[in-house]
Chain A
Amino acid sequence: MAIGRDRIDGRLHDRVAIVTGGTSGIGHATAIALAREGAHVVIVARTASRIVETIAALERSTPAAGTFTGVPADVTVEEDMTAMAERTLARFGRIDVLVACAGIGRPPDADGVIARPVAKLSSGEWDAVIDTNLKGTFLSNRAVLRSMIARRRGDIINVASARGAVRGQAFAAAYCASKFGVVGLSQALAEELAAYAIRVQVLLPDVTRTQLLERSTLSSRLGPLLPVERVAAAIVTMLTLPGDTVLREAVVAPMHARLYERIRT
């Protein structure tokens, strides 16, 4: 089978896919891309009203046959993640795909930009970033495993970050630690679950044009940014790889950005 160039409707026909962080940024674009490929999409995010908006966007943007639903849930809360899996199973009877996109650069209530020197990093801010990005990935992954293991199939894609998990960046210690952690978690889990034919892959996008970034002052310093649709397309590619193949730690980057340039703040 060729990679990434079949008809756009139906490469994920009838697959049941959960997308955490599905109402914004990469998660939102991924939800749309999965819907266009014919998947049933379960949007997971904290704010119910934004889930409703996203589902409306999915229904507008696709000719596909999937069913779209949402679960208001916080990836840092164990019970929420259990409910996410249970409600998906109740509705669809299975979970074929989890794409774990939920992530933050800094706590939503923090002042200023993402940049935060470690000397001024409160443990509250540290915890907020690690909880959402790392523990949230662990909890969402773990929640779908029981059903995937029972069926001996499943695809998990965790979204890390090129700048956050290729090498650490000044003033983003918590973010980088969380994203390195996501890579470690994903690699460990991939090894554990291969015997059950559950494929775990981790994608490392370079800086994308998301609200997370646009709210900060960094965007003007970074040159051309990657549209989130490119990351979503890469996720679809990873999900539609032939069954004998995985991509490991793929970094998707804009052609013209200087990838390893230090982010100065």
Chain B
Amino acid sequence: MSETAHERALAGEVAVVTGAASGIGRAVCRALAAEGVAIVAADTDRDGLQNTVNDLSGLSTARRPLALTCDVRREDEVERLVERALEEFGAIDALVACAGILRPKGAPPKPLIAVSATEWDAVIDTNLRGTFLCNRAVLPNMIARRRGHLVNLSSTSGRQGRALDAPYCASKFGVIGLSEALAEEVRPYGIRVHVVLPDAVATPMWDQNGPIPAPADALPAARIADFIVYLLRLPEDTVLLNPIIAPFRTRRRVKKPATAGLVELASES
């Protein structure tokens, strides 16, 4: 029949979302809750988590979310998060691992030669080790049930390194490697692993960027969240590999003479 007939309905499923207090994580909570998914929202930011929970309370489809403070860098806290999620909901169908930082708080962009080992560790620990720990923690339940779906957040900086943010780029390259390796391992259990590479998204992460503002056409976080819902709804036999979701930059005007030929073409018709 139609393509949409193959799509999975998500209502009644349980999703753990890390980095849920802001940005893409909060938008994912909202998009999944709107689908009737029970949300386990995790973040280190207690106030932000509360705002996310308040945000969900307006949705008629939402089941009561479980909000837990959790530092994804800490093995014991991540294990505890998963235990609490299982106690509350009995199963975990999806993990969306959004917890990530661009740099340690207050640190400006800097050349690698000036990056301290502590700064390096802070970024790698949250973005890469945190993704590893969260992925690993939800797997026993998913393997036992022969189903599950992991969505990890990389970035276009996970495909192309950019000057002055080497730790971030390294962490996001790492998330792709981790995700691809894991995808191959857990495929026999019917567990899907997706890794998403957003380009510029308007999130509080830009606040860390000091003098560099988010580009005017940065995507709203809801675009990424809707795309992740789409991935979760894909038919069981299909995966999208390392998709890049990016702003369609129509506002960037190419100046003459680069477009002269095209303008002529257009005016001829």
Contact = CB atoms under 8 A, between A and B. Distances in A.
B219 A244 contact: yes
A189 B258 CA distance: 12
Contacts of A149: 262, 265-266
Contacts of B252: 194-195
Q: Looking at chain B, what size class is its interface with the partner chain?
A: 35 or more
A196 B262 contact: yes
Interface stretch (B13-21, B45-53, B137-145, B240-248): B240-248
A233 interface: yes
Contact of A243 (B2, B7, B243, B248): B248
Interface in A180-210: 192, 194-197, 199, 206
B241 A251 contact: yes
Contacts of A245: 219, 223, 245-248
A247 B226 CA distance: 13
Interface string A1-43: 1111100100000000000000000000000010010000000
Interface of A is mostly: mixed
Contact of A5 (B7, B192, B223): B7
A251 B243 contact: yes
B83 interface: no
Contact of A250 (B244, B247, B267, B269): B244
B136 to A, nearest CB: 21
A147 interface: yes
A159 interface: no
B187 A256 contact: yes
Given A5-B4, A149-B266, A248-B244, A192 B254 contact: yes
Interface in B17-67: 31
B269 A247 contact: no
A253 B239 contact: yes
A226 interface: yes
B67 to A, nearest CB: 24
A254 B237 contact: yes
A173 to B, nearest CB: 23
A210 to B, nearest CB: 16
B229 interface: yes
Nearest to B31: A2
A252 B238 contact: yes
B120 interface: no
Interface in B219-256: 219, 223, 226-227, 229-230, 233, 235-250, 252-254
B52 to A, nearest CB: 19
A162 interface: yes
Interface string B71-94: 000000000000000000000000
Contact of B240 (A1, A227, A250, A258): A250
Given A146-B266, A255-B192, A194 B250 contact: yes
Given A8-B2, A149-B265, A149-B266, A252 B248 contact: no
A227 to B, nearest CB: 7
A86 to B, nearest CB: 11
Contacts of A247: 243-246
Contacts of B165: none
Contacts of A250: 240-241, 243-244
Contacts of A255: 187, 192, 236-239
A43 B192 CA distance: 35
A258 B219 contact: no
Contacts of B249: 194
A242 B221 CA distance: 13
Contacts of B3: 8, 33, 36, 229-230, 232-233, 236
Contacts of A251: 240-243
Contact of B248 (A199, A253, A254): A199
A242 B247 CA distance: 10
B121 interface: no
Contacts of B258: 192
Contact of A197 (B184, B229, B250, B262): B250
Q: Which of A4, A145, A197, A236 has the most CB of B within 10 A?
A: A4
A244 B243 contact: no
A2 B217 CA distance: 19
B266 A230 contact: no
B31 to A, nearest CB: 8
27 contacts: A2-B31, A2-B226, A2-B230, A3-B226, A3-B229, A4-B230, A5-B7, A8-B3, A36-B3, A149-B262, A192-B254, A194-B250, A195-B250, A199-B248, A224-B237, A227-B237, A229-B6, A234-B240, A244-B217, A245-B246, A245-B248, A248-B199, A248-B245, A250-B240, A251-B241, A255-B187, A256-B187
The 6 closest A-B pairs by CB, nearest first: A233-B3, A251-B241, A248-B244, A149-B266, A3-B230, A250-B243
